[in-house]
Structure 1
């Protein structure tokens, strides 16, 4: 299994905490992602795992913050959706998972088609205030949990 490592990055203690979607907007570019975990230091040297198959993945599971070309809605709506898609990992976990922003180059895709990043640079922590703002926007602008079955 390949090593996962932080690319030349600032000290984790020195990375800023984002408190609003406006602050997050300033970081968006290709190769920037959100991840829910204990944090960069815990993830350094580890990989994600597909728990259904029992297989180790070749990188860390992340969610893209740069929208796809087909996305024609406002950027803040994309960000809110991306932040909210895996927020349950923080809420449902008793292992102190947090949301944080990182940059890196994808090395593949996970079982849910999520990008996998091997080397990363931590950019920022995501505050609870930002997550709450994202949830409010997501619930106001989207038909949350609606799928192709009409449910």
Structure 2
């Protein structure tokens, strides 16, 4: 039996992520920032759970960021939408330590976590997200020129 999430393809650029989103009809796609799907999905009693960073309480699913395009976004750039979703949480890679990287999964939301993030079960890993995608996302977001918008990093000062 092949471990969960090994041999996953890697999305190399935002166009590739947009292609995956469109091919998979992205309504139930998420990005998870962790060391690997195999660690999140096959760790015995802790499989498909996350921990609340403040209290240590076990959450009933994997915390993840939704990629679903909201209806109000209309026909705007899917690349920009996905760039925002990656940019918002890129700080988790540093916060959670070495080896943490983003991966795309299909899953079923069963609850919301303490930060109102989706908690997902029945996760099926689809692809890793390459560092080049994160750099491209950051560039695209920066090109928007908004001084009122930034990542959702609690560590960031005013």
> TM-score, normalising length from structure 1?
0.83
Residue matched to 1:14: 7
Please point out which of 115, 118, 122 is paired with 1:112.
115
Q: What SS is found at the alignment partner of 2:140?
A: helix
* CA–CA separation in structure 2 for the residues paired with 1:145 and 1:49: 30
Q: In the superposition, relative to structure 1, how do residues 94 and 120 fare at CA in structure 2: closer, same or farther (>3 Å)?
A: same
TM-score (norm: length of structure 2): 0.80
Match 1:32 to one of 18, 25, 29: 29
Per-residue displacement from partner, 1:76-126 (whole Å, max 9, x unpaired)?
Answer: 111001011111111344331011000011111111211110110000000
- Structure with greater helix share of residues: 2
**Contact 2:28–2:107 (Cα < 8 Å) also in 1:** yes
Q: CA RMSD in A?
A: 2.1
Give 3-state SS (helix, strand or coil) of 2:80's partner. Answer: helix
* Inter-partner Cα distance in structure 2 for 1:22 and 1:46: 29
> Which consecutive aligned stretches of 4+ in structure 1 deviate over 3 angstroms post-superposition?
144-147
Aligned residues: 140
User: Partners in 1 of 2:56 and 2:94 — Cα distance?
Assistant: 24
Residue 137 (structure 1) aligned with residue 140 (structure 2): yes
Unaligned runs of 5+ in 1: 1-8
Q: Does structure 1 residue 23 correspond to structure 2 residue 23?
A: no
**Cα deviation, residue 140, structure 1:** 1.0
